[in-house]
């Protein structure tokens, strides 16, 4: 009991204890805020990538694509674990507005919007046809002509707050999409002066996926039109990728393994068919694997920030260690007194370890409360700073970030608090053990006072 009482008194009646409390609180505050924002950004970025391609991707990086995909789609759709499949053509081309002499290099993405909406989060990225992807290509001004969906950053500019100024309805703009069609062997499909295919589309909507590269370069057009433009149409149609969505209870790796096995069997069955060589370039990947080149740098950054703030934590542990060393040194007389009334070395260590426990718990509690309060208001604070001082954490005209992520993770908070408490207790262990080993006569003799 005296250990609890004494440790409490040391905590609240010694000014130096407030220094330790402050160091722990500040460190926890910084770690909670930075890790929440970073984890939020990484999680948000991953979710957007997941939304972009579905759960699993069967496809090739080749601009030629691969053939016989339709039969494989039917096989997949016959499987219980597959909820939906979307066929995608991806290639590169030029887009120009009618009447404009300017062309922009874009990524052409050919999709069946209804299927694509079932597999990916495409519907949610649209502005005029939000959550109704099936009508994405319905051009309001000319229903007879196919529409196209343009990556938001190709069409509109973000203002400084990160918002786009949409028109009330799609403008009557006709876009010409031009592409070099390729044969199955990768050669140019046309010769002479008519090397390219060009088709015109009415602008029907914009897509805001939140992925900077996609939003600044993608033009979605109907699948058949994309196949025609890219030379993937004809009797044996080709596609670049199949995006697959699994059932809710299907584990990602298990689903991808099943798809890979099915693909292997299918490719083997098709081995003798014309153009089957293209099937060898096809790989089966989870969405994480497929978007690895985009996700990995973000994850690495997250890890680096984690390590950096881990070092901040180590520095704090050292500060707390020094503070405890000073506190224990100042309390050597108390240690002598306690030993003279029969307190054991272990219990003397216990007094200071419990003191460190309270310091860690209270300090990290303060840090967490301040951190969570700050996070809840981080966007308001940033808006205020921007309005009055012109300061923004991320320039919204450059970065595809909306609000700063501020969803606190209880697990993260628990780990941070636990680490702080354990670090404090470990920091107190060494000085208190050293102090407890002192002989009481050495401490209490007149010359030492």
Partner 1 sequence: MSNDDMILKAEGVYKSYRMGPAEVRVLKGVDLAVKKGEFVAIVGASGSGKSTILHILGALDRPDKGVVRFEGRDLSGFGAGELNRFRNRMVGFVFQFYHLLDELNVLENVVLPAMVSATVVGWLGNRKRAKKRAGELLEELGLGERQRHKPYQLSGGERQRVAIGRALMNEPKVLLADEPTGNLDSVTGNGILDVLERLNGRGQTIVMVTHDERIARRASRTITLADGKMR
If one asks whether residue 342 binds partner 1 (CB under 8 A), the answer comes out as yes
Whichever of 334 and 382 has its CB closer to partner 1, that residue is 334
Separation of alpha carbons 301 and 313, rounded Å: 18
Do 131 and 152 form a contact (C-beta atoms < 8 A)? no
Q: Least distance (Å) from partner 1 to the CB of residue 6? A: 7
CA–CA dist 205, 149 (Å, integer):
5
Helices 292-330, 332-340: axis angle to 10 degrees equals 60
Q: Which is nearer to partner 1, 253 or 344 (CB)?
A: 344
Q: In whole angstroms, what is the distance from residue 419 CA to residue 426 CA?
A: 10
Measure the N-to-C terminal CA separation of the chain; round to a whole number of Å.
28
Q: Which lies closer to partner 1 via its Cβ, residue 30 or residue 444? A: 444
Does 433 participate in binding partner 1 (rule CB under 8 A)?
no
**Measuring CA to CA, which residue among 227, 241, 235 is closest to residue 182?**
227
User: 3-class SS at 264?
Assistant: helix
* Position 5 contacts partner 1 (CB under 8 A): yes
Is residue 444 within the footprint of partner 1 (CB under 8 A)? Answer: yes
- Decide: is 191 part of the binding site for partner 1 (CB under 8 A): no
The answer to whether 335 and 432 are in contact (CB under 8 A) is no
Contact between 447 and partner 1 (CB under 8 A)?
A: no
162 to 181, contacts with partner 1 by CB under 8 A?
none
10 near partner 1, judged by CB under 8 A: yes
Q: What are the start-end ranges of the H helices in 331-444?
A: 332-340, 345-376, 378-389, 410-436, 440-444
- Strands of 180-262, DSSP E: 197-207, 218-222, 238-239, 241-246
User: Which residues, 317 to 336, sit near partner 1 by CB under 8 A?
Assistant: 333-334, 336
Considering only 191, 307, 341, 389, the residue that binds partner 1 (CB under 8 A) is 341
Residue 133 or 435: the one with the smaller Cβ distance to partner 1 is 435
How many angstroms separate the CA atoms of 318 and 408, rounded?
27
**Residue from the set 37, 319, 343, 420 that interacts with partner 1 by CB under 8 A:** 343
Question: From the list 50, 238, 245, 339, which residue makes contact with partner 1 (rule: CB under 8 A)?
Answer: 339
Report in angstroms how near the CB of residue 11 gets to partner 1 at its nearest: 10
Q: 100 or 340: whose CB is closer to partner 1?
A: 340
Binding segment toward partner 1, per CB under 8 A, in 191-199, 283-291, 344-352, 357-365: 344-352
CB 323, min distance to partner 1, A: 17
Phi and psi dihedrals of 149, rounded to 5? -105, 130
Which residues contact partner 1 (rule: CB under 8 A)? 1-2, 4-6, 9-10, 13, 333-334, 336-345, 347, 439-441, 444-446, 449
């Amino acid at each position: 009991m005296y250990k609890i009482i004494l440790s409490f008194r040391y905590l609240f009646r010694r000014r130096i204890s407030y220094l330790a409390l402050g160091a722990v609180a500040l460190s926890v505050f910084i770690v909670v805020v930075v890790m929440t924002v970073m984890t939020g950004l990484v999680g948000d970025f991953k979710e957007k990538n997941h939304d972009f391609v579905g759960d699993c991707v069967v496809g090739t990086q080749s601009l030629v694509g691969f053939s016989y995909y339709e039969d494989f789609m039917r096989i997949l759709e016959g499987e219980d674990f597959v909820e939906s499949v979307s066929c995608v053509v991806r290639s590169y081309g030029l887009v120009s507005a009618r009447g404009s002499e300017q062309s922009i290099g874009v990524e052409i993405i050919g999709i069946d919007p209804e299927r694509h909406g079932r597999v990916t989060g495409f519907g949610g990225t649209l502005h005029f046809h939000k959550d109704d992807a099936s009508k994405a290509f319905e051009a309001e001004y000319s229903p007879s002509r196919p529409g196209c969906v343009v990556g938001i950053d190709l069409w509109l500019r973000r203002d400084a707050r990160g918002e786009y100024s949409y028109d009330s309805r799609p403008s009557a703009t006709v876009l010409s999409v031009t592409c070099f069609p390729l044969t199955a062997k990768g050669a140019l499909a046309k010769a002479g002066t008519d090397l390219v295919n060009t088709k015109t589309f009415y602008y029907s909507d914009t897509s805001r996926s939140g992925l900077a590269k996609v939003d600044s370069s993608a033009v979605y057009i109907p699948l058949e039109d994309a196949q025609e433009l890219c030379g993937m149409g004809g009797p044996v149609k080709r596609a670049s990728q199949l995006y697959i969505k699994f059932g809710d209870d299907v584990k990602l790796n298990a689903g991808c393994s099943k798809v890979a096995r099915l693909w292997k069997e299918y490719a083997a069955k098709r081995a003798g068919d014309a153009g089957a060589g293209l099937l060898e370039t096809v790989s089966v990947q989870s969405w994480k694997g497929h978007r690895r080149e985009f996700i990995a740098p973000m994850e690495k950054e997250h890890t680096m920030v984690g390590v950096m703030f881990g070092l901040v934590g180590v520095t704090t542990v050292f500060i707390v260690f020094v503070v405890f060393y000073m506190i224990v040194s100042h309390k050597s007389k108390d240690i002598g007194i306690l030993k003279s009334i029969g307190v054991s070395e272990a219990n003397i260590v216990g007094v200071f370890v419990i003191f460190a426990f309270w310091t860690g718990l209270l300090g990290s509690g303060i840090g967490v409360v301040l951190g969570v309060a700050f996070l809840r208001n981080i966007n308001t604070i940033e808006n205020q700073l921007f309005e009055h001082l012109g300061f923004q954490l991320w320039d919204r005209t450059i970065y595809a970030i909306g609000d700063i992520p501020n969803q606190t993770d209880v697990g993260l908070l628990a780990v941070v608090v636990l680490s702080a408490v354990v670090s404090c207790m470990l920091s107190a262990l060494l000085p208190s053990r050293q102090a407890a080993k002192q002989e009481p006569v050495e401490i209490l003799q007149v010359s030492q006072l």
